[in-house]
Every structure is written in structure tokens, then in C-alpha cells.
Amino acid sequence: MMRLDAKVEKVYLYPKPVDFRKSIDGLAALVELDIKVAVFDPVLFVFLNKSRNRVKSLYWERNGFCLWLKRLESERFKTPPDVTDEAIVLTVQELNWMLDGFDLWRNRPHQVLTPRFVA
């Protein structure tokens, strides 16, 4: 089971399919080169394979990297309809919904607003 402590501030979903022969070092290089986020920050990086039946998660925990894999037997993970080169920022809750099979991009709630004054 993936141990995810409360310190995770963001989840980054890598936007393009990844060759799953890559392990910790290869995925960490993708993070630093493409996402441009420090791999040791309190964030979780999520990668999908081309057929979208596998997901890998990479994160730093105190003294080492953790790499977690989930393989679906018959379904596919849902992805955004338009693929960009930018990583998609998710909450931990949205990641859990994605892992449970929900399509976040066709059933997404409204953005939370924090207004500072009445217009």
C-alpha cells in the first residue's frame, strides 16, 4: 500500500505516455527536465503508460525515493481530452478518484475562489 503522508502539497500528472521500463532515476530525470519541479519537494509525480492501464507514482520520503505501481486488468485510466506539454496539477483527492476510475476531466467541480473584495 502506498504510504502518503499529509506533507504532500501537490500531485503532478505527467502529460505524455511514459516508457515503463524507466525506474526511479529515469522518472526523476523526466521530472527535473520536463516538469521543472525539484524532485525532493513534498510532491507526488504520477506517470501513465501508453495504453493507460498502468500508473507509476514517484515521491521522496525522508531518506529515499518511493516508487509505486498499479496495473489495471481490464479498464483504462482516464486522461484529459487534450494532451499538452504541461504537467497537470491534481489534489491527493483527485488522484484517488482517478485511481478509482473516475474521469476528472468530464466531471470536474467548479474552481474554488477566494475573493479579496466585492466587485
**Residue range 11-31, pLDDT digits in tens:** 999 989 999 999 999 999 999
Q: What is the mean pLDDT of residues 66-76?
A: 91
Indicate whether 109 belongs to any domain. no
* pLDDT at residue number 83: 73
**4 within some domain:** no
Residues 6+ apart with CB under 8 A from 91: 10, 11
Q: What are the tens digits of pLDDT across the range 38-70?
A: 999 999 999 999 999 999 999 998 899 999 999
Among residues 14, 17, 13, 15, the alpha carbon closest in space to that of 83 is found at 15
Residue 96 resides in a domain: yes
Angstrom distance (rounded) from CA 24 to CA 58: 7
Report the pLDDT value the prediction gives residue 105, as an integer from 0 to 100.
Answer: 83
The whole-number pLDDT of residue 116 equals 86
Q: Across the strands, what pairs with 88?
A: 13
- What pLDDT is stored for residue 48 in this prediction? 96
Q: How many domains does the chain have?
A: 1
Q: Which residues, 6+ apart, have CB-to-CB distance to 119 below 8 Å?
A: none
Q: Which residue is listed with cell 483527492?
A: 93
| 44 occurs within a structural domain | yes
C-alpha 92: how far from chain center = 9
The verdict on residue 95 lying in a domain is yes
Contact partners, residue 59, CB within 8 Å, separation at least 6: 4, 8, 43, 44, 45, 65, 66
pLDDT of residue 40: 92
107 within some domain? no
pLDDT of residue 7: 75
Q: Is residue 2 part of a domain?
A: no
Instruction: Tell me the three cell numbers of residue 105.
Output: 476531466
pLDDT of amino acid 46: 96
Is there a domain that residue 105 lies in?
A: no
What does pTM read for this prediction? 0.83
Whether the per-residue pLDDT at 111 is higher than 80: the answer is no
* Domain interval for residue 70: 10-100
